[in-house]
A and B are shown apart, each in its own frame.
Chain A
Amino acid sequence: MMDALPGNDRRENLFSSEAAETRIIDAEVLLRKTFDHDPRQGCSLLFRLYYAPLCSHVIRFVFSRQVAEDIVADVFCRFWDGRVFEKISTSYRAYLFKSVRHRAYNYIKFQLSRRAPDEKFDVDGNGSDPCEILLYDELYQLVDNTINALPQQCKRVFVLSRMENKRYQEIAAELDISVKAIEAHISKALRILRKKVNGELV
């Protein structure tokens, strides 16, 4: 479905219509020129532009800064190693967001359902298309709502552990409860998440 149009034509379509007239600097135009000139410089510019928003997006799914940064960095590494920039037919922005969303989706699938991760999408980011775009967003909204609905203390422990990447001992000291209690809170949070989210996973 993605190959319906030859790559270059399609990319032209995206920008030529209004951009040429109104002189809007869109980061994508700049990126395309930089990639034509020097792919390494292009990748580095791409990283500077999108690393932060991508991490910010992934965190909504995976609820961990460390995991989010790892997922995004890995997508960028494969983008360079596999010279993906030569093959893509969409904008860089769409490709990157699509890839990290896929990856984040698989991460929660693996985390919550213990099913083996599905790696088919790695080749071009457009690969296996289990769900349409919007389903991912409904998923993170569900994750977010579920976490927000957890009992106060349970939520606090979960967020400190996942988002702030704190060790159990640190959290125990901060909230003045035992490490055992922390473990109980975390497994309770995961149990609730599993129950809620599992049904939604394809």
Chain B
Amino acid sequence: MREDLFSDIIKKFLEGNATAHEKSMLSKWLKEDPCREELFYYHLSLRETENPQHLPDIGSRVEEYEKHMRGEFRMPAPAWRYAGDEPSAGRRVTMHYRWWLAASVILFISAGFYFLQDEWLYKSYAAEKGTIRTVTLEDGSTVTLNANSCIRVPRDFMGHENREVWIKGEAFFEVTKKTDLMKFIVHTDNFDVEVLGTKFNIQNRRNRSKVTLAEGKVKLVAKDRQPLIMKPGEQASLSSSQDQFEKQLVKPQKYEAWRNNMMVFENTPLSEVAQIIHDYYGVTMIVTDSLLSTRQFTGTLPNNDLGIILLALKTSYKINIEHKGDRILLSNRSSH
């Protein structure tokens, strides 16, 4: 109870919104027992993960660190520590950035050529397995693509009656409102989403399309079915075999967590966890035991490293994880 109260104060404090009274309460509470600072650092870490000020290139830094631990490479001590006040510019690390930049430019151009060959009339934007990508469309709307997802838009996006987008996979849309009320339409396999200006998440995988509305208002239109108007906080889904929309109330934040590289599980059965990992990383997960596949998982995990996720499942739930080619087998440890 008290922890909840102080959790709220800590959050307000970190945002710079705590009152003087709250600050002194918090300061006193923290001083009373050194263990309490754990709660503070927990929220601090969470906040920095959710609102990153900067996304470093972890892959290459972690490699350097592992080399450092093996004694093959000394990570340079910060230059400014004893000497001048400017950090020396153009260090080796900066070179790394350049190479990555060059590589990504080449990748981008070659991807461009690939799609040009394929389709002259449409432009596609795709996020690879295990990565997230944000795209700004011509009208200023932004689309954040979840891993293993892509969208397709006409080359003259603004030249039609409506703004139209086709989606495969999952994405979060922030649509800008146009003064002339030009509609924004997202086509999924099972229905169209008509929008004026709003924020929502769409998942279009495995013949099932699902919309979670965070803000504003959208209309879902499907062939031969009653259209549905959604309100914020609602989630609606439809598969080809259903003859009407399935609607429920949810916390939209939970369905947007992937944008901050977080994977949120709330009493999620292992079978579903395996499916989500498959969607994200494109690896095939096989749960060998039907009892195991119903076991439920709760927790929030960083979602940019498959290794961490598997390790978390393995150590915390005592299951065996075996790699067989590009398939991953999950089994009960006790059965071995």
Contact = CB atoms under 8 A, between A and B. Distances in A.
A1 to B, nearest CB: 6
A69 B69 contact: no
Interface in B281-332: 296-302, 305, 307-308, 311-312, 315-316
A52 B30 contact: no
A181 interface: no
B75 A51 contact: no
A52 B49 contact: yes
B62 A24 contact: no
Contacts of B68: 77, 80
B34 interface: yes
Given A49-B308, A60-B53, A165-B89, A137 B14 contact: yes
Most interface-central of A40, A45, A53, A76 (chain B CB within 10 A): A53
B6 to A, nearest CB: 12
A53 B299 contact: no
Contact of A25 (B27, B85, B316): B316
A170 to B, nearest CB: 11
A80 B69 contact: yes
A76 B65 CA distance: 8
A177 to B, nearest CB: 20
B274 interface: no
A25 B234 CA distance: 28
Nearest to A138: B23
Interface stretch (B37-45, B147-155, B175-183): B37-45
A134 B23 contact: yes
A115 interface: no
B69 A40 contact: yes
Contact of B302 (A49, A56, A93, A133): A49
Contacts of A117: 81
Interface residues of B, number: 60
A86 B62 CA distance: 21
Interface in A48-102: 48-57, 59-60, 64-71, 73-74, 76-77, 80, 90-91, 93-94, 97-98
Contact of A30 (B35, B65, B66, B316): B316
Interface in A96-118: 97-98, 107, 110-111, 117
Given A4-B34, A14-B38, A69-B93, A48 B49 contact: no
Contacts of A132: 27, 30-31
Interface residues of A, number: 64
A20 to B, nearest CB: 11
Contacts of B76: 70
A73 B152 CA distance: 40
Interface string B60-73: 01101110110000
A71 B56 contact: no
A44 B48 contact: no
Contact of A14 (B35, B45, B62): B35
B95 interface: no
A1 B14 CA distance: 25
A97 B44 contact: yes
A34 B311 CA distance: 9
A44 B26 contact: no
A66 to B, nearest CB: 5
Given A40-B69, A77-B75, A56 B316 contact: no
Interface of B: 13-14, 16, 23, 26-27, 30-31, 34-35, 37-38, 40-42, 44-45, 48-49, 51-56, 58, 61-62, 64-66, 68-69, 75-81, 85, 87, 89, 91, 93-94, 296-302, 305, 307-308, 311-312, 315-316
8 contacts: A25-B301, A33-B315, A47-B65, A48-B62, A50-B45, A57-B44, A90-B38, A134-B26
Given A91-B38, A93-B42, 4 more contacts: A70-B76, A80-B68, A110-B80, A133-B40
**Closest 4 A-B residue pairs measured CB to CB?**
A25-B299, A53-B48, A70-B78, A94-B41
